[in-house]
Structures are given as structure tokens and as C-alpha cells.
């Protein structure tokens, strides 16, 4: 069953920035929120909080039930054995990244990221005063030999891994991850693995938690996850980090407790509903719908009279579109906002390899996605006609 869409009236009443940042004539396909209504189990969980006035300070991590729910989910979804004692609640993954950089590195340390990359990775390293070691992916793949050479020249102590990867949608293979682990061991890297897109993997691919590779991998890894992407609950401010190594856990827990404890009482309820059998059933329908939307983009790009190249994502609802053949300059999203009245995420925000790219969020209805693609095609076509005059 496909996820339900809000009515146009419901959509107008939303306050979220995806729908409010631009005027009503712009179709929003930028920030990673989905248009869909939540899983019924999540709606019921939130209504139960409303019905009981459960708006006070929430449970502690240990009493919340979330560590046990995540452990069950991780085993079931990815075959990863997690001890609930390794799990700590926090408000959000991006805050978790910043906390990990602060707790696990020293000022001036190198932090490795794989570009193009979800912009908060870059901002986090810069804000913490750490040295960015940006290693470009090659068509979404890791060039391990080149990475080894890069780290010899520009050492790092931490890898911020994004798997599945935003914006390329790569779901790294076991061989790639093993190669990365060898490099982490050689160069003494701690790994912070942002796996927030792990539940949005398409047929033919498999999410492999980095920490599940081996006990050696687990010892150097902190995993960040949340129901926020797959279940569209980013505003409910609840996420988790997982570390099996007591030393890593101690360093993270040495930060002021406010860094972790500001998760939401309602978010805990929603997360328990997400990581449940009912949640999984909804997720199944959602991923099926997203896979059809991904197919629609492929069909339209294949027969479009204009040039935009892409590699379909293996996970996630973000299409990384390569407009370098269309003559739109470094920031096609700005051109598309102006000429097509569609809002995509600007490629250059994802680091230097993002120049000439834009990221399209396709978590919407077939109708809206069709309109977005038509507007892009028409704007590119009229530009070509003008240019040939």
C-alpha cells in the first residue's frame, strides 16, 4: 500500500520549511522531508500523547524502550546484533555528528568525509575548527588506493561515513566497507557512521551497518540512526547513537548531558511505533512507492529532449542529477528555481564535486513528481530554443 498523501488543504496548513520557504507557485523538492502522511501507528502514538497530556519530561534512555526496539530492528532489518546497553537517545543525527566530532577529536585534527556530501558534514567540521579532509567519490564509488594516498599526505583521526550515502544514494558494498575498514585500521581512524537512510534501500541492494562488519569494525565505530528519514518524523527530534566500545561510550557520555538528553517525549513514542511490526508494514509500502517514483524519473530522463544524467539511487529518495551537459553553470538549482519554479538542493553546497549538480527529492505523489519533471523539461527546452535563435 502506498503511503497516503495529505490533501492540498492539509499541505497548506503545514508549517515545515519544505512547504513554506518558497511561494505557492514553487514546487518544493529540496530538504529531505517526504510529503506523505505518517504511518498510522505513528499517528496513533502521537494522538495517545495528546490524549493523555504526555508533554512533560520524557523517560530516560534506559526506561524508554527505544534501545530494545532498536536492537530488535537492527537484527531484523540488517542482521546486526546490538546490545541495548550500547544505545543512547539523542535529539537528532546532525547534532550527534557535531557531538562526536567534539568528543572524539582535538582541534586541528583531520576529519575525513567523502564528497559530494550532505552539507552539515562539511559545516560540522568547519564549526568545530577541525581540518577537513575531503575525498571525492568516483561515480559514487570509493577509490580506496587514492584514499590511502590522500591520508598519507593529509592525516585524519575520524571518518564521518554516510552510508547509505547522501546525495549519491550509494549503498556501499561489503567489499567497499571492508576496504574502508582496512584503511581505518591502517590510519587509526575512528568511524562515525550516519546510517539514517538505512531503511530506504531498494531491491537488489542491502544495507550493511559498518559496525556489523566485524568486532574490529565495531570497536572503532559509533553508529547514528533515527526513524526520522524513513518514517518522516524529523520534527519529532529523536535519534540514537550506538557504540559497543566502552571507551568510545565514555568519551561521548563525558559531554554535558544536555547534548544528548533533549530528545522528545513524543518522539520516543513515535520511534517505538516506527520500529515495530506495524511500522515495518507501512515502510514496505513507502519504499515500494519510492521505488516507482525512482523508476518514473529514469523513464522521463531517458526520453527527455534535454541533458540531465543520473545514476539511480540504491537507497533514499534523493536523486543526484548531473546537469553539466545542459550549460546551466555551477548551480543548476538556482537556474531551475528561477526558470522552472521548482526548488531542488544546490549541488555546490555538497562540496566541490557538486558543481553542476542538483539534488531532487522525489518523496511525493506521482502527480507532483510528474509536474516537477515537466517544469524542468520545459524550462530546459525553452532555454535551448532561445539559445538557438
Q: Which residues bind ligand PLP (CB under 6 A)?
A: 32, 92-94, 118, 162, 166, 194, 196, 226, 228-229, 234, 239
In whole angstroms, how close is the CB of 270 to ligand PLP at the nearest point? 13
Number of H helices, E strands in the chain: 16, 12
Instruction: Write the secondary structure of 93-156 as one string of H (helix), E (strand) and C (coil).
Output: HHHHHHHHHHHHCCCCCEEEEEECCCHHHHHHHHHCCCEEEEEECECCECCHHHHHHHHHHCCC
Q: Which three cell numbers stand for residue 255?
A: 559531554
- Report the DSSP pairing between strands 239-242 and 87-90: antiparallel
Q: Minimum Å distance from CB 73 to ligand PLP?
A: 16
Q: How far apart are the first and last CA of the chain?
A: 48
Longest CA–CA separation in the chain, Å = 69
CB of 307 to ligand PLP, least distance (A): 27
For residues 225 and 236, give the distance between their C-alpha atoms in angstroms, rounded to a whole number. 14
**172/335 with CB nearer ligand PLP:** 172
Smallest distance, ligand PLP to C-beta of residue 93, A: 3
Total count of residues recorded for the chain: 389
> Would the CA dihedral through 4, 66, 178, 96 be positive or negative?
positive
State which residue, 123 or 304, has the beta carbon closest to ligand PLP. 123
Q: Is 67 or 377 the residue whose CB approaches ligand PLP more closely?
A: 67
Give min distance, CB of 102 to ligand PLP, in A.
16
Q: How far is the CB of 96 from ligand PLP (least distance, A)?
A: 7
Toward ligand PLP, which CB reaches closer, 37 or 98? Answer: 98
Report the residue number, 90 or 243, with the smaller CB distance to ligand PLP: 90
**Shortest distance, CB of residue 240 to ligand PLP, whole angstroms?**
10
Measured from the CB atom, is 94 or 268 closer to ligand PLP? 94
Pick between residue 130 and residue 229 the one whose CB is nearest to ligand PLP.
Answer: 229
- Phi/psi at 137 (nearest 5 deg)? -75, 155
- d(Cα 362, Cα 187) in Å, to the nearest integer? 38
Amino acid at each position: 500500500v502506498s503511503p497516503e498523501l495529505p490533501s492540498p488543504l492539509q499541505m497548506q496548513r503545514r508549517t515545515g520549511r519544505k512547504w513554506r520557504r518558497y511561494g505557492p507557485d514553487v514546487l518544493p523538492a529540496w530538504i529531505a522531508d517526504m510529503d506523505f502522511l505518517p504511518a498510522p501507528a505513528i499517528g496513533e502514538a502521537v494522538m495517545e500523547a495528546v490524549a493523555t497530556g504526555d508533554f512533560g519530561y520524557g523517560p530516560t534512555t534506559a526506561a524508554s524502550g527505544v534501545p530494545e526496539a532498536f536492537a530488535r530492528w537492527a537484527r531484523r532489518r540488517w542482521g546486526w546484533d546490538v546490545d541495548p546497553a550500547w544505545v543512547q537517545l539523542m535529539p537528532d543525527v546532525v547534532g550527534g555528528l557535531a557531538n562526536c566530532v567534539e568528543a572524539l577529536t582535538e582541534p586541528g585534527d583531520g576529519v575525513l568525509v567523502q564528497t559530494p556530501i550532505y552539507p552539515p558534514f562539511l559545516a560540522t567540521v568547519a564549526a568545530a575548527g577541525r581540518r577537513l579532509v575531503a575525498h571525492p567519490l568516483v561515480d559514487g564509488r570509493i577509490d580506496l588506493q587514492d584514499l590511502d594516498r590522500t591520508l598519507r599526505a593529509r592525516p585524519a583521526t575520524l571518518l564521518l561515513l554516510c552510508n547509505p550515502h547522501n546525495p549519491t544514494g550509494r549503498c556501499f558494498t561489503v567489499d567497499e566497507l571492508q576496504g574502508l575498514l582496512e584503511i581505518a585500521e591502517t590510519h587509526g581512524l575512528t568511524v562515525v557512521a550516519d546510517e539514517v537512510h538505512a531503511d530506504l534501500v531498494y531491491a537488489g541492494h542491502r544495507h550493511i551497518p559498518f559496525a556489523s562488519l566485524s568486532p574490529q569494525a565495531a570497536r572503532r565505530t559509533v553508529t547514528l540512526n533515527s526513524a526520522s528519514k524513513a518514517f518522516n518524523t524529523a520534527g519529532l527530534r529523536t535519534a540514537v547513537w550506538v557504540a559497543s566500545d566502552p571507551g568510545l561510550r565514555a568519551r561521548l557520555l563525558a559531554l554535558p548531558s544536555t547534548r544528548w538528553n533533549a530528545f522528545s517525549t513524543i518522539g520516543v513514542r513515535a520511534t517505538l511505533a516506527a520500529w515495530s511490526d506495524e511500522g515495518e508494514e507501512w515502510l514496505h509500502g513507502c519504499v515500494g512507492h519510492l521505488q516507482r517514483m525512482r523508476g518514473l524519473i529514469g523513464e522521463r530522463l531517458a526520453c527527455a529532449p534535454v541533458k540531465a544524467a543520473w545514476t539511480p539511487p540504491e537507497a533514499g529518495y534523493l536523486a543526484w542529477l548531473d546537469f553539466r551537459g545542459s550549460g546551466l553553470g555551477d548551480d543548476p538549482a538556482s537556474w531551475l528555481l528561477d526558470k522552472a519554479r521548482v526548488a531542488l538542493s544546490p549541488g555546490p553546497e555538497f562540496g566541490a564535486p557538486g558543481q553542476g549538480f542538483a539534488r531532487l527529492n522525489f518523496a511525493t505523489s506521482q502527480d507532483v513528481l510528474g509536474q516537477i519533471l515537466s517544469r524542468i523539461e520545459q524550462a530546459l527546452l525553452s532555454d535551448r530554443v532561445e539559445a538557438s535563435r
